[in-house]
Structure 1
């Protein structure tokens, strides 16, 4: 039986992605992105919903339109999340853009590959959040993959958890101690410990009660 994992990520603060930038100004129905062979240049298309007059979009060419939708095509010569994931051997199955955020759906062979992709995306996004993980063959009663509810944490609590994890605070042996992480966050050690304690409690509550 196949052992892949279906992944859905939400990306915020995305750099160098025309689709994300366009979604701040118009309502995007769908996004299609492809590379020019081995070239770093990328061609993308966004389908924009509208009523009546066709919107004018900078740095994109209208290639099709009807009464309710228009398709815009753009060339892009920088890396963005839409191309970084395929570079790791995992084609993107679906891309959605809304209010500057991206949602990517793809399949990875294992969690180690997902960690590598998340690390790549950290370089071009302010925030990478796992929205959904489904293991191949899983049923409704399968709890082998657990996803925390991001909305349960305040922005500060999530930042503390993410920074501590990224710096190796939870590794064994630790790669960073409380003082090092607190300095990175620009807070006192006591404040770091307080935020971390609350965040960990919320995280454990979700895992234990799920």
Structure 2
């Protein structure tokens, strides 16, 4: 990571902030993109993604931004609340993956997109379309990985489990009565040590395992 340019979309809080802190500790030059901060904007805005990547051209782009799911039984959802993570998380992943290839980023660059282990566990019945949205993120990152191969860009998805100390994690733990989970700093540091390939990794125990 020494002297690498790292950009974290959603880097002001939660897992994004943990990744940004770990990258700084490893000697990288870090740009955090968030709604407020040095690089401020709406991560769902595709034109904003194009502009920011063209200006900063990161060696590593990490996309963690997303919406906190609305937690309620299916009968109490509207389509708008159910689709919260489809309209935000999936759109963010789509926009930044597309922007990275359309620019394109330099050969040897890497994009890591955060999904969720909820898509594998099938254990988020109160969170509307959250698990399905995260499964779609992994799917479109796989599509992007195949398209980006000739550009020399790798695309990776990581699937953390419910993580304390994050907005989504705290709300999910309260809704499902769960306790424990990985430390956000451990997840952030582990992301930077993943093999340089286009694959997907799920958090298991105390580290990431390739799917």
Largest Rg, 1 or 2: 1
Q: Which has the higher strand share?
A: 1
Q: Which has the higher helix share?
A: 2
TM-score normalised over the length of structure 2: 0.28
Higher RCO, 1 vs 2 (CA within 8 Å, ≥6 residues apart): 1
TM-score normalised over the length of structure 1: 0.28
